[in-house]
Amino acid sequence: MFSACGTGNKDNEKKTDSTSVKKEVKVEKQKSELEKELIADGLIDIHQLDTTIKVELKYATTDNFTKCNLYGDLDKAYLQKDAAEKLVSAEKYLNEQEPGYRLIIFDAARPLKIQKKMWDTLNMPFMEKIKYISSPKQGGSHNYGVAVDLSIIDNKGKELDMGTSFDFFGELASPQSETKMLNEGKLTRQQIENRKLLRSIMSKAGFSGIPFEWWHFITCSLKSAKSKYKLIE
């Protein structure tokens, strides 16, 4: 998305000189305008600190609830420096507990203009909608670079079964409803244990979860984020 073969004289293939040797030139991918904006806001590419964390931004694809690519060709996860450092710690704790396991990031810092598109797309009553997306009128933790959406992949590169997909909007994705969902046979014990593993290593690294989404973690309250960081517009 984002071979040539042929036959020739073998004797000629063996002959080389300075004019026929091609030098491999590494061309760095040009940064998109969105990425430039994130860098200008002082955010850190998580892979500058740890390349073992996998990044698969769902909003840079159509595999998300909006069914639209909102991020263009952005393929890096950006966070505030302290949030990025905490995430590196979480990766370390995960690997200590489950060697070969890795974190996979679905979303990180998010500009407010993208937040507005997401808000306008989700057709849901207001009181339900704010469980899953912060109103762009006040902004949310993603808009300050202190939130990350993520899961875990095992040592074979397979995502752990968390009972729902990322961006599942309903009670089944809610950590506070897990006992109820287990009793109703809608979640298995293993799915809940997988979620607990994610919560435990994120909590140890200094993140907090929220009541409605098993994948969403923050490093501080929105009030604190607003006092410390610039809004990513």
Q: What is the CATH number of the domain that holds 197?
A: 3.30.1380.10
Are the CB atoms for 57 and 74 separated by under 8 Å? Answer: yes
**pLDDT given at position 27:** 53
**pLDDT given at position 28:** 60
Does residue 5 form part of some domain?
no
The label of the residue with tokens 């997401």 reads: 118
Does residue 160 form part of some domain?
yes
Q: Which residue has the higher pLDDT, 191 or 3?
A: 191
Instruction: Give CA–CA dist 148/218, Å, rounded.
Output: 7
Angle, helices 189-204 vs 81-97, to 10°: value is 130
- Mean pLDDT, the chain, rounded, equals 90
Does residue 11 form part of some domain?
no
pLDDT band, very low/low/confident/very high, at 16 (cuts 50, 70, 90): very low
Are the CB atoms for 113 and 177 separated by under 8 Å? Answer: no
pLDDT band, very low/low/confident/very high, at 23 (cuts 50, 70, 90): very low
Does residue 87 form part of some domain?
yes
Does residue 17 form part of some domain?
no
pLDDT at 118 over 90: yes
**pLDDT given at position 31:** 87
pLDDT band, very low/low/confident/very high, at 192 (cuts 50, 70, 90): very high
Q: Which of 22-36, 75-89, 185-199 has the lowest mean pLDDT?
A: 22-36
| Angle ∠(67,68,69) on CA atoms, nearest 5 | 135
Does residue 13 form part of some domain?
no
Q: Which residue has the higher pLDDT, 61 or 5?
A: 61
* Structure tokens given for 191: 């799915």
Are the CB atoms for 135 and 182 separated by under 8 Å? Answer: no
pLDDT band, very low/low/confident/very high, at 220 (cuts 50, 70, 90): very high
| % of the chain with per-residue pLDDT over 90 | 86
* Number of folded domains that form the chain: 1
Q: How many residues does the chain have?
A: 233
Q: How many CB atoms lie within 10 A of CB 122?
A: 14
- Which residues, other chains included, contact 11 with Cβ-Cβ below 8 Å and sequence gap of 6+? none
* Domain span holding position 215: 32-228
Does residue 2 form part of some domain?
no
pLDDT at 9 over 60: no
* Structure tokens given for 217: 């973690």
- Segments of 147-224 assigned E as strands: 147-153, 208-209, 216-218
Does residue 39 form part of some domain?
yes
- Segments of the chain assigned E as strands: 44-45, 54-55, 78-79, 102-107, 147-153, 208-209, 216-218
pLDDT band, very low/low/confident/very high, at 132 (cuts 50, 70, 90): very high
**pLDDT given at position 3:** 35
State the alpha helices, DSSP H only, in 98-145. 112-121, 126-132
Q: Which of 24-38, 39-53, 125-139, 215-229 has the lowest mean pLDDT?
A: 24-38
**pLDDT given at position 21:** 43
